[in-house]
């Protein structure tokens, strides 16, 4: 990325020599990403990240298809980048169905089948969930949507938020059968503030950002050249290391799960045991709130996250945990642990020890 901040700082849309160096770097990055996604380079639209890619694939496409119908379908466990895009469209006259999921975080294909009707133009179902790690059967969902398109004699488009998938799951858009797929660089050790939308050739889109007409009129604004270069490199590395990453993280995750019995607490594993990202496990510590556990972990140098968001002084349980049927009182005790190639088995032992200390400290302070 460094040369594109300094010696090769040209604007890819200009005509002078250093601009061409920047243009070539963007083109090469687009080609590298499209090779991993098994699509044409022109089907990649660079964005400011996963949120914008989701907004574009949902708001941009639904608006362009408005004349064909105003009915959209998604699930209850989507990231807010999708849920809030849907809510925005509802405020503009669209009807949205939010599908239930089972305790493993999976939608039911037959529920989806019942909801698709003559006014449906777009379905958005995430590939892998960011809070619990559940992986949807995207290829089968796509197959159903194609069958329904034939039945209703109209195109029904399928968007997937795949932000959590790179380096863990197959990103071949042809095998997945999707029309739009959103990615973000920072989930794979790439730079923050850059991502892309795979937009299948022929998919109508009404641009969210208008101006100079970059990205084939689909997303205006001078390209973030260092970010795009870093994104393509991060995606190539993640793809190359996929098997190694999954094997390593499964070992760490299993080791961690097997030591949970040694902790003096009631713990509910909110993540599914099958069809789950290799690197994610979400635990609900019953009788505790997630936040003090996170603070204790942070003081021990361990970075984890909570599914709860603190709003107006009350701890709101995560919409994902509620959707998989977890009691709100238990859901507030959620902590999500995620592992990577940078973690070791020794660190799992350290994590177990620190969790023991935190639990005993919290118990003595709240006298459970
Ligand atoms: N979708 C999912 C599943 C995510 O996990 C995230 C980020 O946490 C996003 C979308 C948003 O991506 P970004 O932070 O690049 O805007």
Mean pLDDT by groups of 10 residues along the chain of 368 residues: 95 92 97 98 98 98 98 98 98 98 98 98 98 98 98 97 98 98 97 98 98 96 98 98 98 97 96 97 95 96 80 74 97 96 98 97 79
Going from the Cα of 53 to the center of ligand 1, the distance in angstroms, rounded, reads: 9
Residue among 39, 276, 284, 310 flagged as catalytic: 310
The DSSP H or E segment spanning 181 is strand 180-184
Query: What residue ranges line ligand 1, CB within 6 angstroms?
Result: 49-51, 54, 79, 81, 126, 130, 161, 163-164, 184, 186, 195
pLDDT at 308: 59
16 Cα–ligand 1 center, Å: 36
Residue 80 CA to ligand 1 centre (angstroms): 8
pLDDT value, residue 330: 96
The verdict on whether 259 is a catalytic residue reads: no
What is the distance between the terminal CA atoms of the chain, rounded to a whole angstrom? 52
Residue 278: the pLDDT is 98
pLDDT of residue 17: 87
Residues whose CB is less than 8 angstroms from the CB of residue 66 and which lie 6 or more positions away in sequence, other chains included: 121
Atom of ligand 1 nearest to the CA of 185: 15
- Conformational region of residue 152, where left means phi above 0, alpha means psi within -120 to 50, and beta covers everything else: alpha
195 CA: nearest ligand 1 atom: 15
Distance, in Å, from the CA atom of 96 to the CA atom of 105, rounded to the nearest integer, reads 19
Give the residue carrying structure tokens 């592992």: 339
81 C-alpha vs ligand 1 centroid, how far in Å?
Answer: 7
């Amino acid at each position: 990325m460094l040369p594109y901040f300094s010696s090769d700082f040209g604007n890819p849309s200009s005509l002078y020599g250093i601009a061409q160096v920047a243009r070539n770097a963007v083109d090469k990055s687009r080609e590298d990403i499209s090779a991993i996604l098994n699509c044409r380079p022109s089907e990649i639209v660079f964005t400011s990240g996963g949120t914008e890619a989701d907004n574009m694939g949902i708001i941009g496409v639904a608006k362009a298809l408005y004349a064909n119908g105003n009915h959209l379908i998604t699930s209850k466990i989507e990231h807010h980048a999708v849920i809030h895009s849907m809510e925005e469209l509802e405020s503009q006259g669209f009807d949205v169905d939010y599908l239930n999921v089972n305790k493993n975080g999976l939608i039911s294909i037959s529920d989806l089948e019942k909801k698709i009707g003559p006014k449906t133009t777009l379905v958005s179902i995430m590939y892998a969930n960011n809070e619990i790690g559940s992986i949807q059967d995207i290829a089968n969902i796509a197959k159903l949507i194609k069958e329904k398109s034939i039945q209703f004699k109209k195109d029904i488009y399928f968007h997937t938020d795949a932000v959590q998938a790179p380096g863990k799951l197959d990103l071949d858009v042809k095998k997945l059968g999707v029309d739009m797929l959103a990615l973000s660089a920072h989930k794979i050790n790439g730079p923050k503030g850059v991502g892309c939308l795979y937009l299948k050739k022929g998919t109508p889109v009404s641009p969210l950002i208008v101006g100079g007409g970059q990205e084939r009129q689909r997303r205006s604004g001078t390209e973030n050249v260092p970010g795009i270069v870093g994104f393509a490199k991060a995606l190539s590395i993640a793809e190359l290391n996929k098997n190694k990453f999954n094997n390593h993280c499964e070992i760490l995750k299993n080791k961690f799960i097997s030591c949970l019995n040694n902790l003096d607490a009631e713990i509910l594993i909110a993540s599914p045991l099958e069809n789950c990202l290799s690197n994610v496990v979400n635990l609900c510590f019953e009788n505790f709130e997630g936040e003090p556990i996170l603070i204790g972990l942070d003081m021990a140098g361990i970075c984890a996250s909570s599914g709860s968001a603190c709003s107006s002084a009350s701890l709101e349980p995560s919409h994902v945990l509620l959707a998989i049927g977890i009691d709100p009182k238990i859901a507030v005790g959620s902590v999500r642990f995620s592992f990577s190639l940078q973690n070791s088995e020794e660190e799992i032992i350290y994590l177990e020890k620190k969790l023991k200390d935190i639990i005993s400290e919290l118990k003595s302070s709240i006298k459970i």
